[in-house]
């Protein structure tokens, strides 16, 4: 993958799919899951999840997303949905370029954050990059007028070498009861990120 003159790589679990940013891959996956879901309750859950995912993807494309991937799967306990988006962001002149400054303006959906948001800023080390900032926690944002969505999120802020630009690696899921294992999975995936043409370390062992 390339942003500007920089190439980067990130590994996703084997049961994840790379998405096109126009939503065609999501539509195909939605149709496939509906074919195997005869119960109305299950079909309603699938449709609701994919409508929300489509809104998130549409917003991501307009906000500079350069990569997207994710998984949707039906288990005995219900529907699991998790995703990854990478944004290429250049803050306007004069604005705070730190991870904290960018994080205060950023959300997974691009919508206004609501009172259910609770996020923590920390520093993590990516093996292929070094120390970077990360904002993680629960995020409640509007995905359309009057409709809010609450998700587990991690936003990892990676400065692009030699450029006034930051890549934001955003991982998200609406499956709040699985917040702890999902954050572990998101950390494992993000840890494979590296600049350059070499293939990243596989993240398949961390698959959900």
Predicted pLDDT of residue 202: 41
CATH topology assigned to domain 2-193: Protein Transport Mog1p; Chain A (3.40.1000)
Q: Is the pLDDT higher at 171 or at 57?
A: 171
Query: What gap in Å lies between CA 8 and CA 193, rounded to an integer?
Result: 7
Q: Which residue has the tokens 């309603």?
A: 44
Query: What would the pLDDT profile of 115-142 be if each residue is shown by its tens digit?
Result: 667 888 899 999 989 999 999 999 887 7
Instruction: Yes or no: say if 108 and 172 are a contact pair by the CB < 8 Å rule.
Output: yes
Q: Is 94 left (phi over 0), alpha (psi -120 to 50) or beta?
A: left
pLDDT at residue 67, rounded to an integer: 87
pTM of the model: 0.78
Top-confidence residue, 99 or 207: 99
Q: Quick one: angle between helices 24-35 and 40-62, nearest 10?
A: 170
Helix or strand run (H / E) with residue 123:
strand 118-126
The pLDDT value recorded for residue 109 is 63
- Model confidence over 8-38: pLDDT tens digits? 889 999 888 888 766 666 677 777 767 777 7
- Residue whose pair of structure tokens reads 């999840």 in the numeric block: 49
Q: What is the mean pLDDT of residues 94-101?
A: 72
143 pLDDT more than 90: no
**pLDDT for the residue numbered 66:** 85
Q: Specify whether the CB–CB gap between 174 and 151 falls below 8 A.
A: yes
Using alpha carbons, list the distances in angstroms from residue 171 to 61, 159, 200: 15, 17, 17
User: Is there a contact between 153 and 170 (Cβ–Cβ < 8 Å)?
Assistant: yes
pLDDT digits (tens, 9 = 90+) for 154-198: 999 999 888 888 899 999 998 999 999 999 999 999 999 998 765
Domain ranges of the chain: 2-193
E-assigned strand segments in 92-191: 118-126, 130-144, 147-159, 166-173
- Mean pLDDT computed over 45-54: 72
């Amino acid at each position: 993958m390339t942003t500007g003159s920089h190439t980067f790589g990130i590994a996703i679990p084997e049961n994840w799919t790379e998405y096109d940013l126009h939503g065609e891959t999501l539509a195909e996956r939605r149709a496939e899951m509906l074919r195997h879901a005869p119960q109305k309750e299950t079909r309603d859950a699938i449709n609701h999840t994919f409508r929300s995912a489509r809104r998130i993807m549409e917003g991501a494309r307009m906000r500079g997303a350069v990569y997207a991937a994710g998984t949707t799967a039906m288990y005995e306990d219900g529907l699991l949905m998790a995703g990854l988006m990478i944004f290429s962001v250049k803050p306007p002149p004069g604005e705070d370029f730190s991870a904290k400054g960018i994080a205060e303006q950023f959300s997974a959906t691009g919508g206004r954050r609501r009172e259910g948001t609770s996020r923590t800023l920390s520093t993590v080390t990516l093996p292929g990059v070094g120390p970077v900032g990360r904002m993680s926690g629960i995020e409640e944002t509007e995905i359309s007028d009057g409709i809010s969505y609450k998700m587990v999120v991690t936003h990892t802020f990676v400065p692009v070498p030699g450029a006034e630009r930051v890549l934001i690696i955003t991982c998200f899921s609406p499956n709040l009861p699985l917040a702890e294992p999902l954050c572990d999975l998101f950390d494992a995936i993000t840890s494979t990120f590296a600049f350059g043409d070499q293939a990243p370390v596989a993240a398949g062992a961390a698959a959900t």
